[in-house]
Amino acid sequence: MRLFRCSAIALAISLAPCALAAQDARKGATIVEILGLRSWTRQMVEDSVAKYQPGISLADHACAVILRDSLGFADAASITMSMGGDTTWSVLPVVEPALKDRVRFRTFASERPKVAAWADIFAVLERDPSSMNDLQHPEVLFGGANSVLGHAVSPSALELRRTIRRHNSARDWALARNALRNDGSPRNRAVAALVLSNFPRRDATYHLLADGLRVTDQGAMAARMVLSAMSRHAPRRVDWGPAEDALAALVGGTNLFVYTEVLDVLAATQVDPALGRRLARANTVLLMDHLTARNPFTPEPARRFLVHIRGQDLGQPAAWNAWLSGD
């Protein structure tokens, strides 16, 4: 079972004929791996971080903050992952300053009050903020399971699931769509994502949730949870054409915490190969670094995505580079 911990702050996500190899360093039992470097080197990153904040290493989550706020990186995220053994991986995906046009986060004009029609959902979440935890499992959110991974689903999670299921009307759909598109309130967007779990057969549900990932707050985390669970529970083909701009931003490097999950969702929902090829070229360095990384977590999502859009596994990185850089 994959276990991972992300830093609390997500920073804010190149066309190149050849991707640079991912660069890593070891610190005790933690292996630090940087993904997405193009003109910078690991040593340059390490020296620059030390200049602005002496004592901070690449394994510290604060490193990602420094990369964005002090060094001008378009995006950076620090993700700690472990399989339960002695080795911990600190994966640091980045988008260099020169590629800032690839990163396009959502902005909102205003933050609205809580949506009154969803008062019952808000009430459950406020009584027990952890009630969402078990809903990340598709069999709980969509399959009606009352236990998962050998433990009973919490009563508050079951109550939350029952409450969400009551909000399946056309009005709820419209409210959720409006919140995800226009509302600066992370609370409203989080509940909107939960409500959209009632509409898994609509392609527009996938589009809205994907666009909802272009922020780094509670709303995006809920959108991430529902989108991932939905694509794993009952995978089906989705027409992603109307969401191409949002997807290009995500695959290009916007909100790097969700990068591998976006790739998995696109493969599971059988994104049109032609669209997938355009997305793959949004940031080939970042994609190839995920494919060729040493850590045991990021290569498979990248490979699944590439194999789907190509129709076959080209095997060696050089072959994938040649294909991605071709017409």
pLDDT per position in the chain (327 positions), as tens? 333 333 322 322 222 223 334 565 544 478 999 999 999 999 999 999 999 989 888 988 899 999 999 999 999 999 998 877 778 899 999 999 999 999 999 999 889 999 999 999 999 999 999 999 999 999 999 988 999 989 999 999 999 999 999 999 999 999 999 999 999 999 999 999 999 999 999 999 999 999 999 999 999 999 999 999 999 998 999 999 999 999 999 999 999 999 999 999 999 999 999 999 999 999 999 999 999 999 999 999 999 999 999 999 999 999 999 999 885
Q: What is the pLDDT of residue 30?
A: 85
CA dist., res. 194 & res. 28, Å (int): 40
Which pTM does this prediction carry?
Answer: 0.89
What is the Cα 241 distance to its own chain's centre?
Answer: 19
CA dist., res. 184 & res. 2, Å (int): 32
Task: Name the CA radius of gyration of the chain, rounded.
Answer: 20
CA dist., res. 286 & res. 180, Å (int): 27
Cβ distance 124 to 160 under 8 Å? yes
Buried b (16+ CB within 10 A) or exposed e, 179-218: bbeebbbbbbbbbbbbbbbbbbeebebbbbbbbbbbbbeb
Q: What is the pLDDT of residue 14?
A: 24
CA dist., res. 97 & res. 95, Å (int): 7
Cβ distance 262 to 300 under 8 Å? no
